[in-house]
Amino acid sequence: MSVLTDDGPRIYLDPTSERTAIARSLADRPASLDGKVVGLLDIRKPRGNVFLDRLETLLNEQGLRTARFQKPTFAKVAPVDLRHEISTKCDVIVEALAD
């Protein structure tokens, strides 16, 4: 997927095994995080929690509210109940992918 940004075009690679590219658009972003709950989803890859710990500290220092979530395993899609909980409690989400 190619996205045009202020810095020029950026290309994002889809790590799935689809043979043909699927056109996807970016989700709408809020103009500000003020008053929003930022969800932090640890998908259970090694050191993803380290990234989220630091990000949570930085967000909290700016007065933002955060909520932490964790998938049971990185090898599977997040369960429906977890996705529902995130969607009802959070305005935006950060998903940690790290190794």
Residue 90 has phi, psi (to 5 degrees) of -125, 150
What separation in angstroms does the CA of 86 have from each of 6, 47, 79, 81, 82? 30, 21, 11, 9, 6
pTM: 0.73
pLDDT at 17: 65
- For all residues of the chain together, what is the average pLDDT? 86
- The model's pLDDT over 25-51, given as tens digits with 9 standing for 90+, comes to 878 889 999 999 999 999 998 888 899
User: Quick one: what percent of the chain has pLDDT higher than 70?
Assistant: 80
Domain extent listing, the chain: 28-96
